[in-house]
């Protein structure tokens, strides 16, 4: 049985190219995830892994559709191989039914992880530069009159109002409210 795995990171992305690949390879069953590939916690990936049986072949358009880091990729492929299921990636022309395909899978998996790590590093560097230049200041602080805050907290501590009512009066989220309570020692 040919099992095709399709993944798009967001609802806005189009999986048409992957569906075309599935049609060309006469997929018997297609599993579709609309989720980031950064981890293995994807419902249709789990369903596909549970569904695949010995003698089946799992196909995807490219390696990044099934995993975005080497560890996850090798874990998924290992799980498939233990079940006697082959894996094919069309873009990279990888077929784990051959030793060369297994080797290339490891190489391309490492490259996919390198790409992801480089993107993460560049984003971190960009945020650091923006912060140093004063363009990135984080979330703006809620400006609450300390006197008013203490008065509302006194009512709350006395049991005259609930914490939710105090948060509503101060226009604060629960986390901000309790953080401010802790900071001011009210």
Q: Which helix (H) or strand (E) holds 8?
A: strand 2-8
Tell which residue, 137, 136, 154, has the closest CA to residue 146: 154
Q: What is the pTM of this model?
A: 0.57
The superfamily in CATH containing domain 2-118 is: Resolvase, N-terminal catalytic domain (3.40.50.1390)
Sign of the alpha-carbon dihedral angle for 56, 45, 81, 63? positive
Give the start-to-end residue ranges of the domains of the chain: 2-118, 146-184
**Residue indicated by tokens 């590093």:** 121
Q: What is the pLDDT along the chain (186 residues), one digit of tens a residue?
A: 999 999 988 766 778 999 999 999 999 999 999 888 777 889 999 999 999 999 999 999 988 898 887 778 888 988 998 999 999 999 988 888 888 888 887 787 777 778 888 988 999 999 889 888 888 777 766 667 888 899 999 999 999 999 999 999 998 999 989 988 988 887
Active-site residue set:
9
Residue 161 gets the label, from left (phi > 0), alpha (psi -120 to 50) or beta, of beta
**Residues 29, 98: Cα–Cα separation, whole Å:** 23
pLDDT at residue number 84: 93
**Residue indicated by tokens 């290339």:** 104
């Amino acid at each position: 049985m040919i099992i095709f795995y399709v993944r798009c990171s967001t609802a806005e992305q189009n999986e048409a190219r992957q569906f075309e690949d599935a049609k060309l390879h006469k997929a018997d069953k297609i599993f579709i995830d609309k989720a980031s590939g950064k981890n293995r916690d994807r419902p249709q990936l789990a369903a596909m892994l549970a569904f695949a049986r010995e003698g089946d072949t799992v196909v995807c358009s490219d390696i990044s559709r099934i995993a975005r880091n080497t560890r996850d990729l090798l874990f998924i492929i290992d799980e498939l191989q233990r079940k006697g299921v082959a894996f094919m990636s069309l873009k990279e022309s990888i077929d784990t039914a051959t030793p060369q395909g297994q080797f290339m899978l490891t190489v391309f998996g490492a490259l996919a992880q390198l790409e992801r790590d480089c993107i993460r590093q560049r984003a971190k560097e960009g945020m650091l530069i923006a912060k140093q230049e004063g363009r990135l200041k984080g979330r703006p602080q809620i400006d609450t009159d300390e006197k008013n805050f203490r008065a509302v907290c006194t009512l709350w501590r006395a049991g005259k109002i609930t914490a939710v009512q105090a948060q509503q009066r101060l226009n604060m989220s629960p986390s901000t409210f309790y953080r401010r309570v802790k900071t001011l020692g009210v």
